[in-house]
Amino acid sequence: TASERICILDIDVQGVKNIKKKIASTNQQLKIPSPYFIFVAPPSMEILEQRLRDRKTESEADILKRLSNAAEEVEYGTKGGNFDAVIINDDLERAFESLSAVLVGWYPHLSSVSNELHPHPIVVAGPSGVGKGTLINKILEKYNSIPIQKDQTKDYFGFSVSHTTRQPRPGEVDGTHYHYTTMDHMKEMVKHDEFVEYAEVHGNMYGTSYDAIQSVTASERICILDIDVQGVKNIKKKIASTNQQLKIPSPYFIFVAPPSMEILEQRLRDRKTESEADILKRLSNAAEEVEY
């Protein structure tokens, strides 16, 4: 604390009880500010046992002893009032997000640091032909390659390259505009939960992989996603679900709307990349997306 850093202690429940006893005592004194107490609980005793066995560092007797102690610690730790916060470690990323939120609540100045280290992705959605790609490109042009020091620049945003089963349009490059792949490969990725969202749109599959997002955020850039409204619904459904998990910070959602359906139709026709049937299908979908 002398170096103006927040001190974190990793101690067991018995240590917590000893500190609390000293705080409550009139005969003893705590020579530091009273700590905040956070209890990290397992999702269940069964999962805790499996974790202990998986690390293969204790004997059977040690495992049984740890489980016995853990049962008492969980009972004390989850009892109201014993801890300032309780975090269920059912998933490392989700538990970390919960811990970060608790720390920011106690130390508000950490919020800017947290956002820099783990920026929330930005989802830009809207009907096909509304100009999402153009707007995203302008953001990338304006906020990337910014000089920060002599001979040094910084990119603040990065684009998440989605997967799709559709054929490339003229001028599109694999790995830059999309990862072009087969329906079988996409379904295999879905099976292994590799997508934050996926959807079938206009007869083709589109999906945003966790790897694509994390490759951007790993370089401390804010990730921008270009997806349709169906993809937005899928992400929101996953966020709200207790049975699924979002392995990234919750995104911010931006909707880009056309000035009118007539102008949107003209834009679709002007780019001359779809058949008449495709244009009509996109316009029908766009009406529902704008309403949402």
Residues with a catalytic annotation lie at 169, 271, 282
Distances, alpha carbon 59 to alpha carbons 67, 166, 233, 243, in Å: 12, 54, 48, 33
Number of neighbours of residue 226 by Cβ within 10 angstroms: 22
Instruction: Report the relative pairing of strands 122-125 and 85-88 from DSSP bridges.
Output: unpaired
Phi, psi of 118 (to 5 degrees): -135, 70
Going by their DSSP bridges, the two strands 122-125 and 222-227 should be labelled as: parallel
Query: How far does Cα 155 stand from its chain's mean position?
Result: 20
The string of DSSP codes covering 72-122 is HHHHHHTSTTS-SEEEE-SSHHHHHHHHHHHHHHH-TTHHHHHHHHSPPPE
Three-state secondary structure along 35-49?
A: CCCEEEECCCHHHHH
Check if the beta carbon of residue 22 is closer than 8 Å to that of residue 30: yes
